[in-house]
Amino acid sequence: MVVVIPDARRDFEGNLRRFVAARGGRPFILVAPEVVTCGGVSGQVSPPHTYTAGDWAAVKRAGDFAFDDAGLAAVLGEVQARWGGEAKAFLTGWEAGGHTVWAQALHRPERWRAVAPVSSNYQGRGLGQDHFSVAPERATLPLKVFWCGAPVGDEAQGLVFWRQQTARAQADARAHGFAPLPDQEVPGASHGPLCEAVLGWFESLLAPKGP
């Protein structure tokens, strides 16, 4: 399973279509949950979400990050049961999707096979000091940041802030026993989810290791 999180526009379907196009023959089940934490405004409304008034009341009661945490667990369990997804999933998200991705990586490393934030935002949301995981899986979780190599216009200016915030995320990760891998820049790529590069890395982690 590969869980894909969009940017602050929350175009869940459009982001998923980009990954479907890039998947090709790779053996991935692509999952696009309607998270509420991929952006800076708490308590989003529908659309783009398909949540009911009752769902939004549940978000308010639980809090954005707790709601998404429980929701992701439920979604992953359903995909495992209905479509044979493996117990651990891959996770990626770009720009404001980094708020969701980093919170999940640093709070639930045992849930993920590998995590790929892309040009990510991070402000420590959903991560009080007692939310950083102490699970042993944190030390071996493959965690790699991807960057577009050819941002244009406002994207180039935004990249300055994304790099600052991502550096803070990586510092927080190391301070809590995680071991982020070296970043990967994708030459010629414009700002976006970098589907091909991310899925290529995930696929490389599926390859059997030699003796």
Q: What are the structural domain ranges in the chain?
A: 2-206
pTM of the model: 0.95
Nearest to 12 by CA among 96, 88, 82, 85: 96
Indicate the class that CATH gives domain 2-206.
Answer: alpha beta
128: number of Cβ within 10 Å: 10
> Per-residue pLDDT for 119 more than 80?
yes
- Read off the pLDDT of residues 171-182 as tens digits, 9 standing for 90 and up: 999 999 999 999
Distance between CA atoms of residues 24 and 186, nearest Å: 19
Distance between CA atoms of residues 193 and 1, nearest Å: 17
Give the contacts of 149 (CB within 8 A, at least 6 positions apart): 185, 186, 187, 188, 189
* Phi-psi map region of 172: left, alpha, beta (phi>0 left; psi -120 to 50 alpha): alpha
Is the sign of the CA dihedral 186, 190, 196, 199 positive or negative? positive
The pLDDT of residue 41 is 54
